[in-house]
Structure 1
Amino acid sequence: MPERSALAAELALGLLEGADRASALRLVLSDPGFAAEVDSWRARMAPLYDGFADVAPPSGLMARIDQAIDAEAAADQVTTLMPAPRAQGGWKIATFAASAVAAMLALALVWPSPQSPGPAPQEKADVAVAQLTGPIDGLLLTARYDSSTSEMLVRVEGMPVTETEPELWIVPADGQPRRLGRLLRGGVTRIAIPEGHRKFIDPVSELILTMEPRVLHDPDRPSAPTVAQGRLQRI
């Protein structure tokens, strides 16, 4: 994979941190071609994010992992796959596992296997996804619309604390924003798309985020500048 494509994939997968992430985000804003490549990766990942609920690890999990690593029988079983000294401890094993999961996800996106297990897609369901980014460092929105339920699920990450509220809008080909609803500052917001707005779920439409007063001056148009945006893509 070319270095530029790899950088786009790493940004979409959330593998970049600190100065590397800031540099990549600046490139997104200055280079439309790179931004399109990042959006393509994020659009392919969006269904994976929204298809699974967040689950907290059970209490005492790390202690059990450490015990398994320290056990001679367990060490004999994993030595050919992961020949790491026992003194490294549970936290390095967890880091290895996280890196392996990220690598496996990247491979699955590049080279999907028809035998791979996963949720069966609903027949005739029209699904559209979008990733919204902007100049606010760390702010990322992932939107997924399913025509079978006429609902849009929007996951928000990195929302700063402000006195204004996040509002989601859809901007179709005519350039006139239509309000979809107010979002939670974190986690997933479920929005029932009004019947009159469903016709705008189209690849020529964009989703935008603005930070509005708690009481909207005009619910039919934004009163604040766009802080994140992304184009809808059908999958």
Structure 2
Amino acid sequence: MTERDQLAAEYALGLLEGEELLGARGLMASDPAFAGQVAFWESRLAPLLDDIAGAQPDESLWARISAQIDAVPGGEVVSLKARVRFWQRAAAGAAIAATGAVALLVVQPQSPGLQSPGTVSPTMAQRPLVASIPIGDTPLRLGVTYLPDRQEMLVSASGLSADGVHDHELWLVPPEGELRSLGVVRPGEEARVRLDPELAGLIRDGIPMVLTREPLGGKPAGQSAGPVVAEGAFRTI
């Protein structure tokens, strides 16, 4: 199994987080071959869930978990999360391997140098850029994916919530000149934003971004941008 197969399978299982998830979303939107791999794994792995019966955890379970977390130092909690993540992937890997072994019985491998008509080679397509922007001291992150071939930006703010008083605006920080607005972030949503060619032409690997707090509707005309609450940078995947 190639690394792209593994990535597609883990995306289908919902195991990806952070930049891995953003990168996979970018590939899903820009690379038909990768989207096909995800569809393949979704169709093979989904039936595995049919044999799992529903279960209702005991009401005291969360109280016991909370008590144990409070009793363990913070560093150990991080370690525990890492171990949980490891076992999630190990279990998923076993399912993927088993499913893949069956698939090999019925699917002929494609020659490395050949592709189906109309398929875009990953080396030929413009590679997406991603940014995972931490929001202050919280575990929340703003996920941004830029698709150069479409001049489109995907902004995931699914973990953010509106306060009814402020909006947050995302800005590109060019090496020269003023900040360039990438739009007002919509809390709790995933938005697709079409960029004008001039602004899109400024986006490249390593270019920084900032998120500012503004009045409702974004920065008022003629005024300076509000205080910076988060910052990050685009990275090519």
Could you state the TM-score of these two structures normalised by the residue count of structure 2? Answer: 0.51
Change (3 A) 1:190 1:124: same
1:66-104, Cα deviation, whole Å (9 max, x unpaired): 28xxxxxxxxxxxxxxxxxxxxx5769xxxx98754457
Change (3 A) 1:105 1:144: farther
User: Aligned-residue CA RMSD in angstroms?
Assistant: 3.9
Change (3 A) 1:121 1:229: same
Q: Within 2, Cα distance between the matches of 1:169 and 1:127?
A: 18
Q: Does 1:205 align with 2:181?
A: no
Change (3 A) 1:173 1:104: farther
Change (3 A) 1:105 1:64: closer
Match of 1:180 among 166, 170, 182: 182
Residue of structure 1 equivalent to 2:136: 135
Residue of structure 1 equivalent to 2:229: 227
Residue of structure 1 equivalent to 2:172: 170
Match of 1:43 among 8, 19, 22: 19
Per-residue deviation, 1:231: 0.9
Per-residue deviation, 1:187: 2.8
Partner SS for 1:173: coil
- Mapping for residues 86-125 of structure 1, pairs under 5 Å: 100-102=87-89, 121=122, 123-125=124-126
Per-residue deviation, 1:154: 0.9
Residue of structure 2 equivalent to 1:148: 149
Per-residue deviation, 1:167: 1.2
1:94-126, Cα deviation, whole Å (9 max, x unpaired): xxx9875445789xxxxxxxx9xxx97483223
Per-residue deviation, 1:218: 3.9
Kept after mapping to 2: 8 A contact 1:169/1:177: yes
Change (3 A) 1:171 1:149: same
Kept after mapping to 1: 8 A contact 2:169/2:219: no
Change (3 A) 1:62 1:166: same
**Identity across aligned pairs (percent)?**
25
For residue 126 of structure 2, what is the amino acid of its counterpart? A
For residue 202 of structure 2, what is the amino acid of its counterpart? F
Kept after mapping to 1: 8 A contact 2:19/2:132: yes
Residue of structure 1 equivalent to 2:42: none
Which residues of structure 2 form unaligned runs of 5+? Answer: 1-15, 30-34, 36-47, 59-83, 94-109, 111-119
Per-residue deviation, 1:134: 3.2
Per-residue deviation, 1:230: 0.9
Residue of structure 2 equivalent to 1:27: none
Residue of structure 2 equivalent to 1:65: 52
